[in-house]
A and B are shown apart, each in its own frame.
Chain A
Amino acid sequence: GQSLEQPSEVTAVEGAIVQINCTYQTSGFYGLSWYQQHDGGAPTFLSYNALDGLEETGRFSSFLSRSDSYGYLLLQELQMKDSASYFCAVEGEDSSYKLIFGSGTRLLVRP
């Protein structure tokens, strides 16, 4: 079956850099997605990595290593508004139309 593992909680200071890791197990891999969700809100898409390497979008970067079944989300110059839950996700083994989410990492940014 499929599974994704990520830390349940991470705390960091405003202005710092934080890395949120995600390891996955799946027999059919298409790519790794990252979503952000503020409390009570809807998830919003951050990034998608289909190939190995680092993708940068502003303060956020996402990395993928297919050989290690591992990826991470890197948040730089942390701001208070970055306090949220972050989910990694992969497409389903039986259908690329299914997106399976990890249980999420709650990031708390302190002043």
Chain B
Amino acid sequence: DGGITQSPKYLFRKEGQNVTLSCEQNLNHDAMYWYRQDPGQGLRLIYYSQIVNDFQKGDIAEGYSVSREKKESFPLTVTSAQKNPTAFYLCASSPAEAGELFFGEGSRLTVL
């Protein structure tokens, strides 16, 4: 079945550690996205990529990094520079412009 796979589903990290969240899609979509969601809040855009080897900062990119070496993959690294990383992270893709996004099931990161 086509879809978006995020891993891990749950992740715990100690302060000062970098962690990488995986996002893979087999929908053949060009565009991919990373959003952060805090409890009871909306989704805030971290990074997006319109095409392979290109990505752009969203509204809250500080403390995060991404790469887009393959069309199917868009991993997100949460670095130790991110001051408050505990959140629900959602990866998404779209075939073209952002009218309709397809989301993965999310990764819940907790910093201990």
Instruction: Report which of A42, A50, A102 forms a contact with B42, defined as CB distance below 8 A.
Output: A102
Do B98 and A99 touch across chains, with their CB atoms under 8 A apart? yes
Do B100 and A45 touch across chains, with their CB atoms under 8 A apart? yes
| Chain A interface main SS type | loop
**Which A residues are CB-close (under 8 A) to B41?**
103-104
Instruction: Report which of B56, B90, B101, B106 forms a contact with A95, defined as CB distance below 8 A.
Output: B56
User: How does the 8 Å CB contact mask read for B34-70 relative to A, with 1 for contact and 0 for none?
Assistant: 0100001111110010100000101100000000000
Contact A33 B104, CB 8 Å, known A87-B42, A98-B45: no
- Give the bracket for the number of chain B residues in contact with chain A: 20 to 34
Do B106 and A42 touch across chains, with their CB atoms under 8 A apart? yes
In the assembly, what is the distance between CA of A50 and CA of B99, in Å?
9
Instruction: Report which of B50, B58, B59, B103 forms a contact with A43, defined as CB distance below 8 A.
Output: B103
B1 within 8 A of A: no
Measured CB to CB, the residues of B under 8 A from A are 31, 33, 35, 40-45, 48, 50, 56, 58-59, 90, 94, 97-106
Q: Knowing that A95-B48, A101-B42, A101-B43 are A-B contacts, what are 5 other residue pairs whose CB atoms are under 8 Å apart, sorted by A's residue number?
A: A33-B98, A33-B99, A43-B103, A91-B98, A97-B98
